[in-house]
Amino acid sequence: MKNKSILFLTQAAMIAALYVVLTYVSSMLGLANFAIQLRLSEALTILPFFTAAAIPGVSVGCLLANIVTGCSLLDIIFGTLATLIGAICSYALRRNKFLVPLPPIAANTIIVPWILRISYGIPDAIPFLMLTVGIGEILSCGVLGLLLLLSLQKHKAVFSLS
């Protein structure tokens, strides 16, 4: 039992650290700024397919990434909430790998535009922001995430808690 707890915490911490690094890289490359966002770290939101440790992993990773990249308090809180909702729902859909990327795409497409409008004062219409954020999420979670899932599926024993 103790080894499972240690493995769970280790996996969550590694996922969080990787999320922070990938978000920082995306930010430095100008991929994750304002209305059009392509966070490479969002590809990690498929990891609940493999382990429940990814739920706190991507959520804490998002929280820390939003802090270190200088996001607003509303973005830190509600961006993390969107990631947490996506991760929990992805875990619930883990029986179908092709559905796993959908919850983070939906959660971020619905929540992030409001953050952009309220917290950053981006004047674009909410439907337009949903479109731009949704495109970024489809690319990050749907394309990159699904490619990551299919690649990692060959090595899923690495995630085993047994």
pLDDT of residue 159: 76
pLDDT of residue 127: 97
Q: What is the pTM of this model?
A: 0.92
Summarised one tens digit per residue, pLDDT across range 73-125 is 999 999 999 999 999 999 999 999 999 999 999 999 999 999 999 999 999 99
Position 160 pLDDT exceeds 60: yes
Pick from 73, 43, 49, 74: nearest CA to 61:
43
Secondary structure (3-state) at 56: helix
Position 1 pLDDT exceeds 60: no
- Give dist(CA 76, CA 148) in Å, integer: 26
Query: Looking at residues 146-156, what average pLDDT do you find?
Result: 93
Q: What percent of the chain has a predicted confidence (pLDDT) above 70?
A: 96
Secondary structure (3-state) at 35: coil
- Give dist(CA 74, CA 8) in Å, integer: 29
Weakest mean pLDDT among 11-15, 30-34, 43-47, 66-70: 30-34
Domain boundaries, the chain: 2-32+42-159
Weakest mean pLDDT among 20-34, 96-110, 131-145: 20-34
